[in-house]
Structure 1
């Protein structure tokens, strides 16, 4: 049974008008999100991940100009005025920000901050809202919640503050949770707890998650589908298994080769050379070409289209063109492709 598509983004462009010129931060982004699934958007800093999601929730900067189509359950988000966003933001689409200390009001008690979205979006009393805030604190794993409901943010650890931010995001029972690198500032033990908590909440509520991260290790256990972003564009898009075990874009190869796994040999981790391009003047052709050891001549002249790898997997690289020469891929990627063949064999033999 196919899941219902609740969010569809088509031809999204976001430009920022600055003193230096027009920064083309998002360039023709397309994706969809289904009910109950997790879509991970991955890429280096500056690739456009956070700009994309802030646009989805109507939090673009004042100097941003957006064009494109964003459809959320029949509502055209790109046409909403600020007063209309009040009904959507925090109610139907909520966001978990990267740094809980800047997301929480240091002068307001945490319990009151969790209760606030309920009071804004629902007709309930303050006492009802506080009772539900207490229940949410317990649900997100805050110990002795009754004793801490009147604490201020500075009294809590980073992991506990992040749980509070998740509780605030869940307060109005949203359809979509956008998590913008929610575990970056946490140690690995707390990170695992937060990720498990998010998966558990998603299962209980059948909510959808857009998970923004630069950490592919997090993606493996969290996502159903993955969109790889580079220079304001999605350059590979597929299921988590397709992107991990059958990657097609050299940029995705670079991200995977910089990620340690249980099979990684000592000294085999590799960084991607160079830096992302200046989007004041996006380069002609494939934006990744100057950093790409496998670039073809055409990469420097013409931007590649999205080539279809399967019904669910697409990649924007000229290497997939039928006219492209055969290249010798890194041994680590060849290993992933071999594992993919085995995975496919196992799935087809079921």
Structure 2
């Protein structure tokens, strides 16, 4: 499958009074046409900063892309001017942000907000833009679009506002859709509806999605591939099945172990001890070493490379070195790998669908 985006050795820093905060440190990944790549990790791991850098939405100052390439259709976005990026944002790369209320202009009718991108990028008439807007509102499942197109954001519920935000993001038929925790501010019922909506829309418009979240339950339902981030780096990347059934990094084990399930009420959650490192002064070795019960001496002095597990699965942990001791995930994690996530992982869901 052809790559639509390639990110190579991306470094993003913020200059503060206390010094340089190294928010993203050497991130490398690709995005294929039509796939959904989920980026997961704790708050502060660099997920949102990475995706904001892709659209060059890092405020400068204090932020800056310090190093690296963001290759989209042969162009290095990191080197484009703001004027050049304005032609790409909304048209080729769109973003759905976490809180729909802060994403929408409270003084503008929602129809005008959806039409804005159409009028800017497609140079069509207002009549044509309004017709297209009604189609988009229908596509995202907003009832009575003819009436609601002339209403204001405060007249919509949280889930309806998020549908409007998705319509805005889809207006120009973007090739890449960045969804930055788009369901976090919603209750679980509406969250499920929005996730189903995004999967359905992706099939219809054939866009690629980068999905940012800290919720592995969400990841299991939407992602083709998963990248796990910690302290500004990708520490493991692979298909959803590989990450859920054969995780190799202790941090990924921790994330899986801390995920609640409904299947076993007696099973306790596994907390990750400690807290993420200070990115003003990142550790010399593996950033996760201080929180890793399996850490070896080398973890504190040298960063691990990306070890190849399979053609699609890589993990940055010294535990994969040929001379490292054999270590298995904690029992609670193994239990989740085998049972608790069985019904949610994409590969299993497809099998169930085939039987129906």
Which TM-score band applies after superposition, normalised by the shorter structure?
over 0.9
For 1:261 and 1:36, how far apart are their aligned partners in 2?
Answer: 30
Q: CA deviation at 1:338?
A: 6.2
Cα pair 1:228 1:236 within 8 Å, conserved:
yes
Alignment of 1:1-350 (within 5 A): 3-62=1-60, 63-66=62-65, 67-335=67-335
- Structure 1: runs of 5 or more not aligned: none
Q: Distance in 2 between matches of 1:99 and 1:211?
A: 15
- Aligned equivalents of 1:10 and 1:227: distance in 2? 14
Give 3-state SS (helix, strand or coil) of 1:319's partner: helix
User: In structure 2, how many angstroms separate the alpha carbons of the residues matched to 1:265 and 1:152?
Assistant: 44
1:265 CA displacement: 4.4
Please say if residues 5 and 72 of structure 2, whose CA atoms lie closer than 8 Å, have aligned partners that are also in contact.
Answer: yes
- 1:136-160 superposed Cα distances (whole Å, 9 cap, x missing partner): 1111000111111111101111000
- Counterparts of 2:334 and 2:219 in 1: how far apart (Å)? 21
Shift of 1:302: 1.0
- Contact residue 91 and residue 173 of structure 2 kept, 8 A: yes
- The unaligned stretches of length 5 or more in structure 2 are 342-346, 352-356
CA distance in 2, matches of 1:218, 1:152: 30
Taking the aligned partners of 1:43 and 1:9, their CA distance within structure 2 comes to 18
Check conservation: 2:250, 2:329, Cα contact below 8 A.
no
In 1, Cα distance between the equivalents of 2:86 and 2:328?
53
Pairwise CA distance, 1:294: 1.2
Stretch moving more, 35-44 or 329-338: 329-338
Deviation at 1:4, TM superposition (A): 1.2
Shift of 1:332: 2.9
Which secondary structure does the structure 2 equivalent of 1:120 belong to? Answer: helix
Which digits, 9 at most, give the CA deviation of each residue in 1:5-26, with x for residues without a partner? 0000000001111111001110
1:334 Cα deviation after fit: 3.5
- What is the alpha-carbon distance in structure 2 between the residues aligned to residue 41 and residue 316 of structure 1? 16
Aligned pair count reads 341
Change (3 A) 1:207 1:328: closer
TM-score w.r.t. the length of structure 1 is: 0.94
User: Counterpart of 1:220 in 2: which secondary structure?
Assistant: helix
CA root-mean-square deviation = 1.7
How many Å separate the matches in 1 of 2:302 and 2:264? 35
- Bigger drift between 181-190 and 318-327 goes to 318-327
For 2:268 and 2:103, how far apart are their aligned partners in 1? 38
Q: Secondary structure at the match of 1:191?
A: helix
Match of 2:326, SS?
coil
Counterpart Cα distance in 2 of 1:217 and 1:224: 14
Q: Offset at 1:103? A: 0.5
TM-score w.r.t. length of structure 2: 0.93
Measure, in 2, the Cα distance between the counterparts of 1:238 and 1:254: 17
